[in-house]
Amino acid sequence: MRTQFSLTQLADPDIAASDQILRKCVHCGFCTATCPTYLMLGDERDSPRGRIILIQDMLQSDLPPDPSTVKHLDRCLSCLSCMTTCPSGVNYMHLIDHARAHIAEHHKRPLFDRLTRQALGMLLVRPRLFGLAMAIANRFRFLARILPEKLRAVFDLVPARVYGPSALEQAVLQPATGQARLNVALLLGCVQRPLAPEISQAAARVLRRFGANVVIPQGLECCGAIAHHMGDHHASNQRIDANIAAIERAGPIDRVIATASGCGTMLKAYGFIRRTDHAMAQRAMQVADLARDVSEVLSELGYRGNSGIPRLKVAYHAACSLEHGQNQKAGPRALLRAAGFDVVEIPNGHLCCGSAGTYNLLQPELAGQLKANKQAAIRTLDIDVVAAGNIGCMTQISGGLNKPVVHTVELLDWASGGPMPPALVNQITASKARTS
């Protein structure tokens, strides 16, 4: 498509990058077939093609973004399904991130929206504070019915149990149980720590079992994705730089691993995000080049399962940030099969579950419909458990499903000698109680 940026505008490296992305779009419309919001709403402005036009008009204009443009861009999940579908290679991820930063800088949101975003940006990236907030919310869950819709959505996601700091957070190095083949830095996540510390524990066990020295870099912060996707690039850049420094201090590292695929997608984008900072560009690219999802490293290490566990039917939920953001499609499924599980595909599994970082809190109505669609699709299957590679998806899908939802790495750990995932133990215990 043609663009009409001025030479002054193109002197801005972010505008220049977005200009190149915009020029690749040929408006073919393939993206509309896989865009969850377009399929739900039927509005061209809620499709990737429509949003690209809105972004072009917004960036080329010297005027503040109008409320309608902001509304339709806010409705974007950043699920990146459009990037998998696009035959022209349009990097919609970087384009929508730039658009959100532009909105944050040039548009004043209503007071409630500003306060909500500030609260999320403060709570979600601080595990202990977030855990405390969830524990308090759990005690006052009865207040949800009198609160505004967006606040009710928070209570819908409050877990029954919140965990304190785990021993893994204090472990600087956990050596491989056999011959060491890789040194890996493991991110423990932010929301994941108080909600599901068993994910990182399972990851550390199975990585060590197959030859990885697991390093927990001290001083590692949030990956920066929360702030970055809400348009606060100053805050996200600060976190990126702090994380790069923490990883460098951890010593020789061969891989940087995330078990939350949203974090992994962010890590792999560090090089692009910090490309214009001469002091950080090369260092950011080095970390991005080392970034892997845990499933990638287990495949690299030659993961294999042991006999002796039930051959469960596993519905594999393809987290958008893993399937579309990182282009990791076959790997997690192949690992589950290598572990001895029967992998079952979810109908319309390419469509987002509605979690999408903070989306289920900022757009609860649309997220709720996507959740209902995903759960309805899962209920059509004869399965034992749902596996996913992202804590956000797990939290979104599990509420009211009546099937255990676990992280893929928990099943891989169990199948190679680790303990049964707690969610499966709880399911089996509850099943026995009902039949006794």
Amino acid letter, residue 110: P
Amino acid letter, residue 166: S
Break the chain into its structural domains and give their ranges: 7-106, 304-435
Q: What pLDDT band is residue 220 in, cutting at 50, 70 and 90?
A: confident
Question: pLDDT tens digit string along 160-219?
Answer: 777 877 888 877 889 999 899 999 999 998 989 889 999 999 999 999 999 999 999 988
Backbone angles phi, psi at 174, to 5 degrees: -120, 110
Which residue is it, tokens 């994380």? 243
Task: Retrieve residue 22's tokens.
Answer: 């915009």
- Alpha-carbon 252 to chain mean position: 27
Starting from the edge strand earliest in sequence, which strands make up the sheet with 255-258, in order?
173-174, 212-215, 182-186, 255-258, 291-293
Report the alpha-carbon angle 397-291-84, nearest 5.
Answer: 55
Structure confidence at residue 150 (pLDDT): 65
CATH number of 7-106: 1.10.1060.10
Strand pairing class (342-345; 291-293): unpaired
Average pLDDT (352-373) is 94
pLDDT at 130 over 70: yes
- Alpha-carbon 259 to chain mean position: 9
Q: What three-state secondary structure class fits 66? A: coil
Question: pLDDT tens digit string along 247-295?
Answer: 999 989 999 999 999 999 999 999 999 999 999 999 999 999 999 999 9
Contacting residues for 431 by C-beta, under 8 A, at least 6 apart: none
Buried b (16+ CB within 10 A) or exposed e, 36-52: bbbbebeeebbbbbbbb
Question: pLDDT tens digit string along 305-354?
Answer: 987 899 999 999 999 999 999 999 999 999 999 999 999 999 999 999 99
pLDDT-above-70 percentage for the chain: 94
pLDDT mean across residues, the chain: 91
Structure confidence at residue 166 (pLDDT): 81
pLDDT at 432 over 50: no
Classify domain 304-435 at the CATH class level: alpha beta
Starting from the edge strand earliest in sequence, which strands make up the sheet with 385-388, in order?
342-345, 313-317, 385-388, 405-407
Q: What pLDDT band is residue 428 in, cutting at 50, 70 and 90?
A: low
Query: 255 has which bridge partners?
Result: 184
Of 248, 245, 249, 293, the closest CA to residue 267 belongs to: 293
Q: What's the pTM value of the predicted model, to 2 decimals?
A: 0.91
Q: What region does 52 belong to: left with phi over 0, alpha with psi -120 to 50, or beta? A: alpha
Structure confidence at residue 321 (pLDDT): 95
